[in-house]
Structure 1
Amino acid sequence: MKNPWVIIAVLTVVLFGGAYIYSSQVNEGTNEDYDSSINATALTESQIKGNPDSEVKLVEYSDFQCPACAQFYPVVKELLDKYGDQISFEYRHFPLIQNHPFAEPAARAAVAAGIQGKFYEYHDILFERQSQWSTALNPNRMFSEYATELGLDVNQFEKQMRSSDIRDKVKNDLQDGFAAGVTGTPSFYLNGEKLQLTTLGDLMLFTEQALGVNAGLEIDSEIEVDAGPGVTASPAALPEPEVKFGI
């Protein structure tokens, strides 16, 4: 007959070993290690570029999976390259999840990258490679690859991407957009006034007017001009204000 104490010892090891493995798996899916380090103000500040003290403030409500937003991306980039020291630019998330199922997780990925100081670097990748990740069955693997490419702590990135704080940040941006009267993406607000843009060049003109660069050129921000070739003038369908996020 086998020693009963040996059997008890083996069972104890198995039980505690199983408990440890289960505990590790549970902790893998939670975000306690990183949630405490997330500050709501820091999340917002990571999405502001240029001169935060400037009186000229440009805000964009955008969707990373939106084709029209991708068309405006190089215009915004050129604008910031040209006048980045003279304007304050803030990107806000407005994922149109009814038409763009990966827009919300893409937004969370960008916010997670922003915690590590790489929001706009990640923002640029998402727009430049929109055709790749937006057509994937599940883009999460690509999101992690982009994080690796930027030299981020991928484990931290993935956990924070799933955190409630980051989900709330995206949802708060969306609700702010509804409150501001956003009806499609991209939507731009210059010093609190919504711009009616139907050509790519309008954004540069309105911003330069605010800066006094084209002082002799009168532009009424309420006048809609004819849409030029290649511009998506009609926005995608909006989700209801009470949004249930996926992934």
Structure 2
Amino acid sequence: MKNPWVIICLITIILFGGAFWYSKVVDNKNNEGVEIVQNIKGNVEARVRLVEYSDFQCPSCASFQPIMDQIFEEFSNDVNLEYKHFPLYIHQYARQASVAAEAAGQQGKFFEFHDMLFERQVEWSSARTPDTLFVQYASELELDIPKFKRHMKSSVLRDKVNTEFEEGRQAGVTGTPTLFLNGEIMKYDSYQSLIEQVAFAVNPESKATSGSEETKTGVSDVKFGL
């Protein structure tokens, strides 16, 4: 009679091998059609480049978005913005939200999904299963839902989010939102200061006073880096 321990070991190897093979098949399916793209809006040829490291579950980041909208309204032809993920560990669902936004981006709707996440931050961040809401948002944007669901589980997109987080840490990002202007980290303590710096970068001869007053932003200043 054969040693039972040998048989048990063989069965264990077969089971683990089968599980590993199946997980690879599923992972390949979830990554099918995924392309790594930069999330950039604005004039791609503009000489003024903004990079925003942000967290979809960060309240300050949500408050910050109307100011970014104003910047693009005023300087749409002269500025471009690249969004990079910096999901803070204190925010339970921030990474899930980032991957969901990337999944929407695979269908050309990153910034539309980005806007919905910030507009409805309170809703999904307090939900027990935010992925259900993410699918609802994707449906409202008329995305291919089976594809969106697969890509929400994509290891390639998850790795992209993690890579951008590490890039941010290496660049000196410690909180959100953090902005870089033409490769230099921006220092500002008010929305007015931020808009003036962008305006000056667009036109160094300008005193950057037009449209920069707090009363014209429609939003009062908040503390940054939360």
- 2:180 match: secondary structure: strand
Residue 129 (structure 2) aligns with: 138
Residue 124 (structure 1) aligns with: 115
How has the CA–CA distance of structure 1 residues 100 and 194 changed in structure 2, closer, same or farther, with 3 Å as cutoff? Answer: same
Residue 30 (structure 1) aligns with: 26
Larger radius of gyration: 1
Which residue among 70, 77, 87 is the counterpart of 2:62? 70
- 2: CA distance between counterparts of 1:204 and 1:231? 14
- 1:133 match: secondary structure: helix
Which residue among 53, 62, 84 is the counterpart of 1:61? 53
How many aligned residue pairs are there? 196
TM-score by length of 2: 0.80
5+ unaligned residues in a row in structure 1: which ranges? 1-25, 219-227, 237-247
- 2: CA distance between counterparts of 1:114 and 1:130? 18
Would you say 1:182 and 2:178 are equivalent positions? no
TM-score by length of 1: 0.74
Residue 199 (structure 1) aligns with: 190
Residue 102 (structure 2) aligns with: 111
- Cα deviation for residue 150 of structure 1 reads 0.2
- 1: CA distance between counterparts of 2:116 and 2:190? 23
Amino acid at match of 1:202: S
Deviations 1:34-82 (A, max 9, x none): 5242222xx21xx100011111100000000001101111111121122
Instruction: Please say if residues 30 and 159 of structure 1, whose CA atoms lie closer than 8 Å, have aligned partners that are also in contact.
Output: no
Residue 85 (structure 2) aligns with: 93
Aligned residues: CA RMSD: 2.2
Instruction: Please say if residues 208 and 214 of structure 1, whose CA atoms lie closer than 8 Å, have aligned partners that are also in contact.
Output: no
How has the CA–CA distance of structure 1 residues 214 and 134 changed in structure 2, closer, same or farther, with 3 Å as cutoff? Answer: farther
- 2: CA distance between counterparts of 1:154 and 1:72? 30
- 1: CA distance between counterparts of 2:199 and 2:208? 10
Instruction: Please say if residues 191 and 221 of structure 2, whose CA atoms lie closer than 8 Å, have aligned partners that are also in contact.
Output: no
Instruction: Please say if residues 30 and 153 of structure 2, whose CA atoms lie closer than 8 Å, have aligned partners that are also in contact.
Output: no
- 1: CA distance between counterparts of 2:171 and 2:133? 32
5+ unaligned residues in a row in structure 2: which ranges? 1-21, 210-218
- Cα deviation for residue 88 of structure 1 reads 1.4
Residue 216 (structure 1) aligns with: 207
Amino acid at match of 2:54: S
